[in-house]
Amino acid sequence: MPFSLSQSDSTGRLEARMQKVSLVFSLAAFGLMIYGFIRSLMAADSLSFPGHPFPPLQRLILHPSLPPGETWMCAGVLLLGILPSVRVLLALWLYFRSKNLWSTFIALVVLLELLLSVRLSV
């Protein structure tokens, strides 16, 4: 018996969906980053090297009053940062639908660990 879902699934459903999700999220994330970067360049307000770091998530959520370019860049980096979690979520959903409960449980724990890492940063 093949070991993995990705190997046993003859249509490569999981692999194909992972590829599509990775492509869409990556292009969206880099699109946002480039747009924000160009806006910041045009405003020439915050491109001194190395400049200042991204604001903490808490400040971003509670007081979203960043310069426009920086908001887009921040959104792009965060979108890229959550892509691995989205891939785990997708695996969780496909395992659940195929009634593979043990793998569903493992994917859920990994997802919770990733959410914990976000929580620790706030």
Partner 1 sequence: MAAVSSLFLIGILAGILGAVMGLGGGIFLVPLLRLLFHLTMRTAIGTSLVGVIATSAGVAAFAPRGRGADTSLALRLELVTTAAAIAGGWLAGVFHARVLEILFACVVFFTAAYTHFKAGRQAKTPSRESLFRPEYQPRHWAMGLSGAGLAGMISGLLGVGGGFIKVPIMYAVMDVPLGIATATSNFMVGITAAASVFVYYGRGDIYPTIVIPTALGVFMGAMLGVYALPRLRVGWVRAALIMLLLIMGGYMLFEALA
CB of 59 to partner 1, least distance (A): 10
Per CB under 8 A, contacts with partner 1 among 59-118 are: 70, 73-74, 76-77, 80-85, 87-88, 91, 103, 106-107, 109-110, 113-114, 116-118
* Tokens encoding 121: 């940063």
Could you give the angle at the alpha carbon of 52 between the alpha carbons of 50 and 57, nearest 5°? 135
Instruction: Identify the residue among 49, 62, 65, 99 touching partner 1 (CB under 8 A).
Output: 49
Per CB under 8 A, contacts with partner 1 among 2-31 are: 2-7, 12, 14-16, 18-19, 22-23, 25-26, 30
Could you give the angle at the alpha carbon of 79 between the alpha carbons of 12 and 116, nearest 5°? 90
- Spatial contact of 37 and 31, defined as CB atoms under 8 Å apart: no
CB of 73 to partner 1, least distance (A): 5
CA–CA separation, 17 vs 55, rounded Å?
A: 33
CA–CA separation, 118 vs 57, rounded Å?
A: 9
* Tokens encoding 58: 């808490």
Footprint on this chain of partner 1 (rule: CB under 8 A): 1-7, 12, 14-16, 18-19, 22-23, 25-26, 30, 33-34, 36-37, 40, 46-54, 56-57, 70, 73-74, 76-77, 80-85, 87-88, 91, 103, 106-107, 109-110, 113-114, 116-118, 120-122
